[in-house]
Chains A and B, each alone.
Chain A
Amino acid sequence: MNAKRRGHFRDPGARWGGIAALSAGRFAVVSIAAGIILWRADIYFWTTLVSVPDGGFAIRLLALLLACGLTIDFLAGLPVLRLPRREDILFVAAADFEARKRLLLAGIVSSAARWPGLPCAAFAVVAALEGLAFATAAKGLAFLLAETLAISGAFLVLVKFGWIPPSRKGYLGRGGSKGGKAGGSFIMRVTAAGLRPTVLRLPDPYRWLAARELLAALRREPVSAALYGALLIALGTQFLLWDRLAPLIAFTLTACMLTLTLFRTLTDQSRAYADACPYLFPPPWIRHRCDAAMMLFFSGVFLAYFLAAARHHLDSAAAWQCAATLIAFAMLQTGDVTGREPRPGSRMIRNFCYLGLAGALFMFPLWGMAAAMAAGLFAAGRFFRHALPPGSSPAAVPNR
């Protein structure tokens, strides 16, 4: 029996290729993390530019924590860097075996793609910190803050102890404990009942186009609704402190980005399904229109507040820069058009593109704006290229 048949086939150079791939992945992660640290540092500098009548120290401290929290948020979403896991160790140990290497790479990519719970947890910490500052600045808002903190805290505990297994395949009815099965059935019923008086009253075909994505988001991450509620409460609190918490408009920007990212992440399987079965669905442009409307619905309140606050507290040029940043982000998010198989690491590439745009916008406003517009046109071009009549994107269906 030769070495190949025993499964120990050695591909010359694959050892170095494997380790190099891992190193390159880590290098990319570190680069992006460094970019985020630099980018988010602007929050702190904003606090030094804007006059804060009272509670200034607490707010500046909070801004610093916010920048750190957002960085931690990003790092927490990358298990490869966070701590070495069995797959990573196996990856290095078995780097000379091409097939296993591919499997391990796929495992690492898929684990990185299952990240919604972790950034949610990190974001909840940030929201709680901000809530503490609100409490310092205005004691009358204790009730709202207590609610935010309770939701965030409960979320952290649930995720930490694995009582709610976000994104775990099979928790909606199969596998796991009896309690897990009952919980899955309960979630199925509650989410369906919750949508019946609302989304399921929309006209066809938007009714089920919207409902399927909402159901996927709620069932994949059952506490996402609570987290979104906490963000809205925090936004409401900010609105009440309009004149005193100008620097924290960045929170709104971040909340908007988080909402968009989370919604896109939680519904990626739904979009993949529609791409794989175009014969079941209305034409792609109807799906895309519905998708865009839902993203606008979820992020609209943050976007409106952010634009109004940026316009009020900063000069108009800065406000427009911020707006262009946000719009570029939304465009890149919706750039995942239908009709194309997502490639591994595409989310990371997209986020990296966004960071580049954001950096360019803040450092070189004019060129940055042009870059943002180019990104928007590119995303739109990709959409129109793929938004063809029904059945005219056969490449979407793999040859099974």
Chain B
Amino acid sequence: MRLQLREIGFTYPGAPAPALRNVDLELDTALVTVLIGGNGAGKSTLIRLLTGQLAGYSGSYLLDGKEAEVSRGELLARHRFGYAPDYPILEPHLSGLEMIRMVGSFRGMDEPAVAEALRPFEDAFEMGDWLRDKACEAYSKGMRKKVSLVMGFIADPVYAFLDEPFDGLDPVSIYNFKKLLRSRAARGAGVLLSSHMLDAAGKVGDHLIAFKDGTAAHSGPFSALIEDGGAGDLEEFYFRLFRT
């Protein structure tokens, strides 16, 4: 499946400058695409647009060549894409397990199916009794992030949008999560993830998109990046791109 973005522009109401300017991109849903860029570069805005949380954009989207209307949340609702926001918002009085069951239920899954889908994440994120016994209002930042990520993946989406997925996770969870992303990509289920953690993102990505001033300043495979001009690694490339 290919998601093409054509001349996408967006300005927040009242903002003096557009947050996104003429963004032309092509996303292959079988790949892990990494979105990097400075604060305010437009990474999160792009993900919010794709998940239907912002309306009033210019340009168009094509999904497998057919025009799509993403401001109605169709990518999540109809095409069953997954989504995990940068700031995980959870319902304060439910436990993490109840949140996951709830989302699974809204995606048409029964409890055994949710339990089955949850198992690899329980191992990867070392989710203990807190998932069942504690209300989400008592969770730490990392716990919230783990639950939010599981909610994004519980229905095994063909593609997922992840905004800062590594933020707040402990090193073991980051390591295991990267393995999970790679195993999903191996069976053709990729993600679009934005991250400031270049080291983690660099080790999991197939394709790199660098955002600068609301537009895609670079888009290409990681392999080309390593070979291109002796950039060496993502960090070096980042500094070279954003210093100029």
Q: Which residues of A contact B (CB under 8 A)?
A: 169-170, 172-175, 184-185, 188-189, 192, 204-205, 207-208, 211-212, 215-216, 219-220, 269-270, 273, 276-282, 389-392, 394, 397, 399-400
Rounded to whole Å, the gap between the CB of A395 and the closest CB of chain B is 8
Q: Roughly how many angstroms separate A185 CA and B129 CA in the complex, as a whole number?
A: 11
A390-B73, A391-B72 are known contacts. Are A270 and B91 too (CB-CB below 8 A)? yes
Chain A residue numbers with a CB within 8 Å of B135 are 172-173, 184, 188, 219
Chain B hits for A215, CB < 8 A: 93-94, 98
Chain A residues lying within 8 Å of B72, measured Cβ to Cβ, are 389-392
Partner of B105, one of A205, A276, A392: A205
A391 contacts B94, C-beta separation under 8 Å: no
Judge whether B94 and A216 touch: CB under 8 Å: yes
Closest residue on chain A to residue B140 by CB atoms: A174
**Which has the most chain A C-beta neighbours within 10 Å: B48, B53, B93?**
B93
Known: A174-B138, A188-B135, A394-B52. A278 touches B73 (CB 8 A): yes
A391 and B73 contact, Cβ closer than 8 Å, known pairs A192-B98, A207-B105, A219-B93: yes
A201 to B102, CA, bound (A): 13
Report 23 cross-chain contacts, Cβ distance below 8 Å, ordered by A residue.
Answer: A170-B137, A172-B93, A172-B137, A173-B133, A174-B134, A184-B134, A185-B133, A185-B134, A204-B105, A205-B106, A211-B98, A211-B102, A219-B135, A273-B89, A273-B91, A279-B53, A279-B83, A280-B151, A282-B106, A390-B77, A394-B55, A399-B12, A400-B87
Q: Are B89 and A277 in contact (CB under 8 A)?
A: yes
Residue of B nearest to A392 (CB): B72
* B binding-site residues for A, Cβ under 8 Å: 12, 48, 51-56, 71-74, 76-77, 83, 85-87, 89-95, 98, 101-103, 105-106, 108, 130, 132-135, 137-138, 151
> Could you say which residues of chain B place their CB within 8 Å of the CB of A173?
130, 133-135, 137-138
A208–B87 CB distance below 8 A? no
Contact status B89-A208, CB under 8 Å:
no
A residues in contact with B87, CB < 8 Å: 400
A346 to chain B, nearest CB (A): 20
Q: Which B residues lie within 8 Å of A392 (CB)?
A: 52, 55, 71-73
Q: A273-B89, A392-B71 are in contact. Are A397 and B53 (CB under 8 A)?
A: yes
Q: Across the interface, do B137 and A169 meet the contact criterion of CB distance under 8 Å?
A: yes
* A220: chain B residues within 8 A (beta carbon): 93
When distances are taken between beta carbons in the complex, the residues of chain B under 8 Å from A189 are: 133
Q: Give the residue of A269, A270, A280, A390 whose beta carbon is less than 8 angstroms from that of B103.
A: A280
> A275 CA to B38 CA in the complex, in Å?
29
- Least Cβ–Cβ distance between A136 and chain B, in angstroms: 41
Interchain CB contact under 8 A, A279 and B73? yes
Contact yes or no, A216 B108, CB < 8 A: no
Complex contact B93–A270 (CB within 8 A) = yes
Closest-by-CB residue of B relative to A267 is B93
Contact B138 A172 (CB under 8 A): yes
10 A-B pairs closest in CB distance? A391-B73, A391-B52, A174-B138, A172-B135, A173-B138, A173-B134, A208-B102, A216-B93, A219-B93, A394-B55
Residues A269 and B52 in contact in the complex (CB < 8 Å), given A173-B138, A189-B133, A219-B135: no
Given B54, B106, B151, which contacts A208 in the complex, CB threshold below 8 Å? B106
| A391-B48 contact given A205-B105, A216-B91, A279-B83, CB 8 Å threshold | no
Cα separation A282 to B108 with both chains bound (whole Å): 11
Is there contact, CB below 8 Å, between B93 and A391? Answer: no
Q: Are A391 and B133 in contact (CB under 8 A)?
A: no
Name the one of B71, B76, B98 contacting A279, with C-beta atoms under 8 angstroms: B76
Q: Which residues of A contact B12 (CB under 8 A)?
A: 399
Q: How far is the CA of A204 from the CA of B133 in the complex (A)?
A: 24
* Cβ-defined contact, A394 with B92, below 8 A: no
Given contact pairs A219-B135, A279-B52, A400-B87, A208 touches B105 in the complex (Cβ within 8 A): yes
